[in-house]
A and B are shown apart, each in its own frame.
Chain A
Amino acid sequence: MKRERQKKAGPLRTYPLHRPSPVQRYPDLKLAILCILPAFTVMALITFYPIFFQIWMAFTNFELRHLRHMNPDAVGFKNFLNVVVFDLPLPNYNFKRILVFNILWTGVNVFLHVGLGILIAIALNQKNLPAKRLYRSIFVLPWAMPSLVSGMIWANMWHDKFGGINLLLRQFGFEGTTRWLLDTTPVVNLPELGLVLPLSAIAVLIANVWLGWPFMMVIATGALQGIPGSLYEAADMDGMGGWGKFRRITLPLIRPAMVPAMMIGIMMTFNQFNIIYFVTGGGPLGMTEILVTQGFKLVNPQGWYGVAAAFNIVVFLILAAITLITNKITRATEPYYA
Chain B
Amino acid sequence: MNKKSRFLVFFLIAAASFTVFAGGSKESSTEGVTISIWHGFIETEEALFSRAVNNFMAENPGVTIEMLAVPFDQLVNKFTTEASAGTGPTLIVGPQDRMANYEEAGLLAALDQNAPFLKELVPAAVEGGKIKGNLVGVPVSNKVVALFYNKTMVSRVPADFNQLLAMAADHGMAITLDWFHNYMWGPAFGAAFLNADNKVVIDSPQGAAAYGFLKKVSESKGVVMDGNDGDMDTLFRQGKVAFRIQGPWAAGDMVKDLGAGNVGVMAVPAIDGKYPRPWNQSEMISVSVDATEAQRDAAMDFLAYFTSAEVQKTFLEEASWIPANASVDTSSNPVVGGFLLQVAYSDPFPVVSELGSTWEPMGNAMTKIMEGVASPAAALKEAAALANSANGK
- Residue numbers of A with Cβ under 8 A of B are 64-65, 67-69, 89-92, 161-162, 182, 184, 284-285, 300-303
B282 at the interface (CB under 8 A from A): no
Complex Cα spacing A64 to B79, Å = 11
Complex Cα spacing A120 to B367, Å = 42
B46 at the interface (CB under 8 A from A): no
Pick the contact of B364 from A182, A285, A302 — CB < 8 Å? A285
Chain B residues with Cβ below 8 Å from A301 are: 76-77, 359-360
Complex Cα spacing A182 to B224, Å = 13
Minimum CB–CB distance from B304 to chain A (whole Å) comes to 28
Query: When the two chains form their complex, are residues A64 and B367 in contact, meaning their CB atoms are under 8 A apart?
Result: no
Determine which residue in B105, B368, B382 has the highest number of CB atoms from chain A within 10 A of its CB, and name it. Answer: B105
Report whether over half of chain B's contact residues are helix, strand or loop; otherwise say mixed.
Answer: helix
Query: When the two chains form their complex, are residues A92 and B106 in contact, meaning their CB atoms are under 8 A apart?
Result: no
Chain B residues with Cβ below 8 Å from A65 are: 104-106
Q: Which stretch from B80-88, B159-167, B181-189, B291-299 is at the chain A interface?
A: B80-88
Interface string of B381-393 (1 = CB under 8 A from A): 0110111011000
Query: When the two chains form their complex, are residues B80 and A64 in contact, meaning their CB atoms are under 8 A apart?
Result: yes
Complex Cα spacing A285 to B373, Å = 10
Complex Cα spacing A285 to B104, Å = 30
Query: When the two chains form their complex, are residues B106 and A285 in contact, meaning their CB atoms are under 8 A apart?
Result: no
B338 at the interface (CB under 8 A from A): no
- Contacts A90-B386, A285-B373 hold; do A64 and B101 have CB atoms under 8 A apart? yes
Query: When the two chains form their complex, are residues A67 and B105 in contact, meaning their CB atoms are under 8 A apart?
Result: yes
Interface string of B342-379 (1 = CB under 8 A from A): 00000000000000010111001101100101000000
Chain B residues with Cβ below 8 Å from A302 are: 360
Interface string of B146-182 (1 = CB under 8 A from A): 0000000000000000000000000000000000000
27 of the cross-chain contacts (CB-CB < 8 Å) are: A64-B101, A64-B104, A64-B105, A65-B105, A65-B106, A67-B80, A67-B81, A67-B105, A68-B84, A69-B106, A89-B386, A90-B386, A90-B390, A91-B361, A91-B365, A91-B382, A91-B383, A161-B226, A161-B231, A182-B226, A285-B368, A285-B371, A285-B373, A301-B76, A301-B77, A301-B359, A301-B360
Q: Name the interface residues of B48-93: CB closer than 8 Å to any CB of A.
A: 76-77, 80-81, 84-85
Complex Cα spacing A92 to B363, Å = 12
Q: Which residue of A lies closest to B379 (CB)?
A: A91
Query: When the two chains form their complex, are residues A68 and B107 in contact, meaning their CB atoms are under 8 A apart?
Result: yes
Complex Cα spacing A303 to B100, Å = 14
Complex Cα spacing A162 to B226, Å = 13
Complex Cα spacing A179 to B42, Å = 27
Complex Cα spacing A90 to B85, Å = 27
Chain A residues with Cβ below 8 Å from B386 are: 89-91
Pick the contact of B105 from A68, A92, A182 — CB < 8 Å? A68
Complex Cα spacing A303 to B78, Å = 11
Chain A residues with Cβ below 8 Å from B360 are: 90-91, 301-302
Chain A residues with Cβ below 8 Å from B76 are: 301
Complex Cα spacing A162 to B231, Å = 9
Question: Given A67-B105, A184-B373, 12 more contacts at CB 8 Å?
Answer: A64-B84, A64-B101, A67-B81, A89-B389, A89-B390, A91-B361, A91-B364, A91-B386, A184-B371, A285-B371, A301-B77, A301-B360
Chain A residues with Cβ below 8 Å from B367 are: 184, 284-285
Minimum CB–CB distance from B154 to chain A (whole Å) comes to 22
Q: Which residue of A lies closest to B101 (CB)?
A: A64
Query: When the two chains form their complex, are residues A300 and B77 in contact, meaning their CB atoms are under 8 A apart?
Result: yes
Complex Cα spacing A296 to B282, Å = 30
Complex Cα spacing A13 to B235, Å = 91
Chain A residues with Cβ below 8 Å from B368 are: 285
Complex Cα spacing A89 to B364, Å = 13
Interface string of B232-244 (1 = CB under 8 A from A): 0011000000000
Chain A residues with Cβ below 8 Å from B101 are: 64
Complex Cα spacing A42 to B306, Å = 46
Query: When the two chains form their complex, are residues B371 and A284 in contact, meaning their CB atoms are under 8 A apart?
Result: yes
Q: Which residue of B lies closest to A92 (CB)?
A: B364
Complex Cα spacing A164 to B390, Å = 40
Q: Name the interface residues of B197-235: CB closer than 8 Å to any CB of A.
A: 226-227, 231, 234-235
Closest 5 CB pairs of A and B: A67-B84, A91-B364, A89-B389, A89-B390, A300-B77
Minimum CB–CB distance from B246 to chain A (whole Å) comes to 17
Complex Cα spacing A91 to B367, Å = 11
Complex Cα spacing A92 to B368, Å = 11
Chain B residues with Cβ below 8 Å from A90 are: 360-361, 386, 390
Q: Which residue of B lies closest to A297 (CB)?
A: B360
Chain B residues with Cβ below 8 Å from A68 are: 84, 105-107
Q: Which residue of A lies closest to B361 (CB)?
A: A91
Chain B residues with Cβ below 8 Å from A184 are: 367, 371, 373
Chain B residues with Cβ below 8 Å from A285 are: 364, 367-368, 371, 373
Chain A residues with Cβ below 8 Å from B226 are: 161, 182
Chain B residues with Cβ below 8 Å from A67 are: 80-81, 84-85, 105
Q: Name the interface residues of B100-128: CB closer than 8 Å to any CB of A.
A: 101, 104-107
Chain A residues with Cβ below 8 Å from B106 are: 65, 68-69
Complex Cα spacing A296 to B154, Å = 46
Minimum CB–CB distance from A213 to chain B (whole Å) comes to 30
Q: Which residue of B lies closest to A93 (CB)?
A: B386
Q: Which residue of B lies closest to A63 (CB)?
A: B105
Complex Cα spacing A302 to B358, Å = 11
Chain A residues with Cβ below 8 Å from B234 are: 162
Complex Cα spacing A184 to B382, Å = 18
Minimum CB–CB distance from B80 to chain A (whole Å) comes to 6
Q: Which residue of B lies closest to A299 (CB)?
A: B77
Q: Which residue of A lies closest to B290 (CB)?
A: A68
